[in-house]
């Protein structure tokens, strides 16, 4: 029974990791689309391109962290727990600063109604 649970968790981890990678790819494609549309309209809006990609990166980081947690649940030894802690701290910090950057940039896109 334990073997089946571990096998299922490994498959789930792979699915979650693939979803994170897919989100990065989707964000890349949409960012390129926003960039090219801006070129054709003679309106280079790099902020909008960056925000599009950043939103997908933030979501992908969450999925990748979830996959790492699943991987540690399968083989919880001190080495993997230590690696998970380091990865979690790095990804959480990246996510935090990306989220702050998104919020800051979104405020600059909102026109003042003074």
Instruction: Report pLDDT for 114.
Output: 46
Nearest to 4 by CA among 97, 74, 65, 57: 74
The C-alpha atoms of residue 83 and residue 86 are separated, in whole angstroms, by 5
> With a threshold of 0.85, does the pTM exceed it?
no
pLDDT per residue as tens digits for the range 36-54 = 998 888 877 888 898 999 9
Structural domain boundaries in the chain: 2-108
Instruction: Report pLDDT for 12.
Output: 94
Close Cβ partners of 1 (under 8 Å, ≥ 6 residues apart)? none
| 59 CA to centre of own chain | 4
pLDDT per residue as tens digits for the range 58-74 = 999 999 999 988 888 87
C-alpha distances (whole Å) from 7 to each of 43, 99, 102 are 51, 34, 38
């Amino acid at each position: 029974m334990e073997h089946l649970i571990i096998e299922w968790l490994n498959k789930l981890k792979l699915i979650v990791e693939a979803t994170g990678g897919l989100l990065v790819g989707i964000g890349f494609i949409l960012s390129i689309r926003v960039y090219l549309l801006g070129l054709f309209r003679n309106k280079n809006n790099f902020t909008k391109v960056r925000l599009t990609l950043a939103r997908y990166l933030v979501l992908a980081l969450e999925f990748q962290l979830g996959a790492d947690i699943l991987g540690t649940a399968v083989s919880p030894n001190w080495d993997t727990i230590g690696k998970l802690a380091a990865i979690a701290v790095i990804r959480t910090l990246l996510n935090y600063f990306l989220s702050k950057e998104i919020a800051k940039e979104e405020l600059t896109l909102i026109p003042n109604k003074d």
